[in-house]
Structure 1
Amino acid sequence: LYKYAGFISTNVAALLHTDAVPALNWILPLGISFYTFEVISYIVDVYLGMTRPIRSLMDMALYVSFFPHLIAGPIIRSEDLVPQLVADREFDWNNIREGVARFIWGMIKKIYVADVMAKVVAEVYGNPDRASSSALLLGTYAFAVQIYCDFSAYSDMAIGSARMLGIKLPENFDMPYLSCSIREFWRRWHISLSTWLRDYLYIPLGGSRRGNVRTYVNLMLTMLLGGLWHGAGWSWIAWGGMQGGMMCGERFFNISEKPPKELSWKLVRWIVTFHLVCASWILFRAKNLSQAGMIFHRIFSLAPGSMPVDYRPLVYLAILLAAELSGLRAKITSMLNDRPVLARWATYAAVAVFVLTFQRASNPEFIYFQF
């Protein structure tokens, strides 16, 4: 009702060519989609006997409103979180150490990559009719980086803050842009949402057990609803439809979900998959379908126009990618763990102060807060 009443009423009014149906512009509660999914999964699991009902109202309220993951996930099932919440815990410095390190890493990704990339994206997508095809392509690549670093940064900070409290939250990302197929991408991207859609939509609809045609229908319905979950708008629905269509295409052409062994073929599939994902991000970022169509047209028609000249974000990106892919972050964490306590915490404090002092971001809000 909060999220979709306005969208439905507006489209009904347009369909009937009347102003009789008033548009509802209510303010959405933060994280409404995330805790709605958690409550649905809890009700279904209890009904099917897959988990025990929570007897305490306080425990139930704590499960739904546990603050680290409340606003933007990960989506956690009661059987994974409630036992940890009600268990007796002892203070553990290891949890504090690991939680602080993870939280700081998320803060670095948010401030020095996501928010910096957001400026490039805003410059390009703010006036796409004036941007050249190369600028729009660069802006789309920048948004792919922005949304990953923004969302995964929140997950890092949620996992880190929960770990400081002695609670282990599941991982939500696994280097999704290294995927060699769309289905593999969805196993690596927003993992908690992917598994939720699989377990509570795709499988109950019949999954892949009722023939190819029914499988394609189930995939499309699941991803269309996944798109609608992100937002009440036709561009979100189109984004979900594009994801479902690409998954159906992979099944139709028997493209394996597993990456191929041959390096050359693996490279080709990675490039194709990455650009298909980036193409879908245009629908995600554009204001509406009309703007998305215009952006696609200008990219493929090699349209002339302006080009952003600030390449500093690429430097930040290169440093962070090198740290992530080379395992440098894990090596630094391991090295710090071997240092004396005072030296370790002095390093954490210095990094946190540096990040907060020299950050130049002007976009503190996380993208997924709107969902």
Structure 2
Amino acid sequence: MRSFLKPVITLAFVTAGLCLAQAQPVGYAKAPVTIKCGVLLLPNPSGGEPTNADPYVFFNLEKRTDVKPASWVFVNPHGGSTFTRRQAGRWNTLTGTTNFSAGTRLNKNMAAYWEVELSQVANVADYDVLMVHAPGGISLNTAERDKLQAFIDAGGTLWFDKSFTQSVDGFNGFPVPFTTVATGANPQVVQPFHPILNYPFSLGYFDAAYMGSHNGGHAIVRQTLASIGLGGFGDIVQTMEPDFYRLNPIIANTSGISLGVAELGNGHFVVSSGNISSRINEPAGGTDIGLGRNSGPVAGTNFGAIPMTELKFVYNMIALSGGHPALSKGSRRHNASFDEIGAPLLQTWSDPT
């Protein structure tokens, strides 16, 4: 009997010790999760340099360590560490100076680091998230549109955020056709349980409806053939107008869509009319080169002034890329998501493919 009790008592002590250890603070590995992102520069229909009113959205998202998922690291995979000849020439033109030259040090707190010129980059599929916030007109040719379509199909997230002064060619624009208007009121959250409003951060109904500097005004709307004098051609190009309805309205106002998401291939096309990016970029300070606060070559540093709702929204939008309906996380087959591994779990393997 005594010989039987001895191992039982020993086992009880070991089990109790394990339970106690489990209850204590646990150290665990947290591998960095790299978010490959950039501000997409589209060709300027009027000529001249492409516009970029809010160049520091991703820089500011990384700096708000009190909010962002702890392991996320934001990088431009083609950002480089020094100015290229093209970057230096662009920013000398924008600032009216000769302060920049090829080979000059380029850091994350500089606008040129985050810029991705659609006409220059060979493979936009290297990115996870690309943002478009370009005051003025937007019109794309077939090759440019196909490049964006391929990016989304491969699992990328393309975000268009309407600026204050904006015109989008409703039929020669993005992979999903739309145009914009500067009207709209009484925004309503029509899909409160959509992931973009709930994961990893839950956004309140009122906060979500009125986020951005347009406060629920402005809208994404369908371009009609009749509005451009082609009302009699509906039978010939009958898919052009209905393609707009690939946008799933998450928030809407009296004029149209305030926030919409289209799932295309393995990726997402997100459109917002609220000028959300300005609420993330401008409060940090910085200089104005004629496109608004913090549009200069070097970022402002007042990160604490950036409002929480807009920050959380963009983190949620980025997290959309963590889920795909296909095997191995979509056509990229990266077998990965942006979710973190929590204690007491450890990463035991990774797939380098």
TM-score relative to the length of structure 1: 0.25
Higher helix share: 1
Higher strand share: 2
TM-score relative to the length of structure 2: 0.26
